């Protein structure tokens, strides 16, 4: 497939590109099981606050000119709000997720059904694959996380299905259990990441591939600042990630802070709520 690379224009300004996102309102959001270290089933959740925070995120995307499509939330699937995990869509072809934990298993077929109804040729992954939680597209390459959720065999499956090069990266800190909690794609050649979340070997791979990457510190990583969504210029991220926001500003990006404190109780932030639909 052909890939257009994004770069600052001649005036040195970053260029925003319109995107299409799939989101799922957190109508049934709670923390009733714990499958990552952020989840504490004793901590109360406020569904109406979660909904308001999520709506603000959706509104920001729309104000930026992006298209937001909605998948109907299903009861008994409190994590379905984390649409990024539902699949991977590249060039109008979709691969729906196959979740690692039984609590989320039914989300795979739900996202598959949505993708098919939306007209995308789609199938459910054979290997354990948590969608854009662990697969991030950077230009013509896919970065793929493993260590906690997605099976390394799923990396080969994705490479085969989409015909794209896939680079495997190993996550080592359970707080950063998905790749999108530790690495953000800023444009077709730029990423930001938290080095400590990766094995030494994967850190060298990242250094080699992205010598100009924005390196985030522990404070910003721990408030999920890297769970960010960029359109090439505007970067929507947790508002508490103030140092990272400053680093982005220095590089010509336009950070937009959001408060998703309720969803962080389940171990998610902006990117987790957002599946990019690349048609
Ligand atoms: N509670 C969810 C889980 O542990 C959170 C998923 C966050 N999503 C993401 N793309 N990182 O599976």
Ligand 1 neighbour 260 (Cβ under 6 A): no
Percent of the chain with pLDDT over 90: 95
In which band, very low, low, confident or very high, does the pLDDT at 3 lie, cut at 50, 70 and 90? very low
- Which residues, at least 6 apart from 104, have a Cβ–Cβ distance to it below 8 Å? 35, 77, 79, 85
Ligand 1 neighbour 84 (Cβ under 6 A): yes
For residues 97 and 86, the answer to whether their CB atoms sit within 8 Å is yes
**pLDDT above 50 (res 95):** yes
Atom of ligand 1 nearest to the CA of 82: 8
For residues 206 and 251, the answer to whether their CB atoms sit within 8 Å is no
- How far does the centroid of ligand 1 lie from the alpha carbon of residue 141, in Å? 23
**Nearest protein CA to atom 9 of ligand 1, as residue:** 272
Summarised one tens digit per residue, pLDDT across range 228-248 is: 999 999 999 999 999 999 999
**pLDDT above 80 (res 191):** yes
Summarised one tens digit per residue, pLDDT across range 35-75 is: 999 999 999 999 999 999 999 999 999 999 999 999 999 99
For residues 115 and 94, the answer to whether their CB atoms sit within 8 Å is yes
Ligand 1 neighbour 133 (Cβ under 6 A): yes
Summarised one tens digit per residue, pLDDT across range 144-188 is: 999 999 999 999 999 999 999 999 999 999 999 999 999 999 999
Ligand 1 neighbour 79 (Cβ under 6 A): yes
What pLDDT is stored for residue 9 in this prediction?
58
Q: How far apart are CA 222 and CA 244, in angstroms?
A: 11
In which band, very low, low, confident or very high, does the pLDDT at 78 lie, cut at 50, 70 and 90? very high
Average pLDDT, the chain: 96
**Nearest protein CA to atom 7 of ligand 1, as residue:** 268
Which domains are seen in the chain, by residue range?
20-276 (3.75.10.10)
Task: Give me the half-sphere count of Cα atoms (radius 13 Å) on the Cβ side of residue 171.
Answer: 26
Summarised one tens digit per residue, pLDDT across range 17-26 is: 999 999 999 9
Ligand 1 neighbour 276 (Cβ under 6 A): no
Ligand 1 neighbour 25 (Cβ under 6 A): no
> Is the Cα dihedral 160, 195, 260, 187 positive or negative?
negative
- How far does the centroid of ligand 1 lie from the alpha carbon of residue 94, in Å? 20
Q: Which of 38, 54, 57, 79 to mutate to test the pocket of ligand 1 (most atoms within 8 A of CB)?
A: 79
Please give the model's pTM, rounded to 2 decimal places: 0.95
Catalytic residue set: 178, 272
Question: Can you point out the beta strands (E) in the chain?
Answer: 20-23, 67-70, 87-90, 93-96, 122-124, 135-138, 141-146, 166-170, 183-187, 190-193, 214-215, 229-230, 234-238, 254-258, 275-276
Summarised one tens digit per residue, pLDDT across range 198-232 is: 999 999 999 999 999 999 999 999 999 999 999 99
First to last CA, the chain: 13
Atom of ligand 1 nearest to the CA of 267: 5
Summarised one tens digit per residue, pLDDT across range 102-115 is: 999 999 999 999 99
Report DSSP letters for 77-96, one per residue: -GGGG-GGGGEEEETTEEEE
**pLDDT above 80 (res 259):** yes
């Amino acid at each position: 497939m052909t890939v257009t690379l994004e770069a600052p224009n001649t005036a040195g300004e970053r260029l925003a590109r319109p995107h299409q996102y799939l989101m799922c309102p957190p109508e049934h959001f709670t923390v009733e099981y714990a499958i990552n270290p952020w989840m504490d089933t004793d901590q109360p959740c406020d569904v109406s606050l979660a909904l308001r925070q999520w709506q603000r995120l959706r509104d920001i995307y729309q104000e930026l000119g992006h298209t937001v499509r909605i998948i109907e939330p299903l009861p008994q699937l409190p994590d379905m709000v984390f649409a990024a995990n539902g699949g991977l869509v590249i060039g109008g072809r979709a691969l729906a997720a196959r979740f690692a934990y039984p609590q989320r298993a039914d989300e795979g077929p739900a996202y598959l059904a949505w993708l098919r109804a939306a007209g995308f040729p789609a199938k459910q992954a054979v290997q354990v694959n948590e969608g854009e939680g662990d697969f991030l597209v950077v230009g013509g390459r896919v970065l793929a996380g493993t260590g906690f959720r997605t099976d390394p065999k799923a990396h080969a499956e994705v490479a085969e299905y989409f015909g794209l090069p896939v680079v495997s990266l190993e996550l080592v800190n359970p707080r950063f259990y998905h790749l999108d909690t530790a690495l953000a794609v800023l444009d077709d050649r730029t990423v930001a990441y938290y080095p400590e979340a990766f094995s030494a070997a994967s850190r060298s791979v990242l250094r080699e591939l992205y010598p100009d990457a924005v390196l985030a510190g522990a404070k910003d990583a721990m408030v999920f600042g890297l769970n960010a969504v960029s359109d090439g210029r505007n970067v929507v991220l947790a508002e508490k990630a103030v140092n990272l926001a400053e680093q982005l500003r220095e590089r010509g990006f336009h950070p937009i802070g959001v408060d998703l404190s309720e969803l962080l109780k389940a171990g998610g932030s902006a990117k987790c709520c957002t599946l990019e639909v690349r048609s």
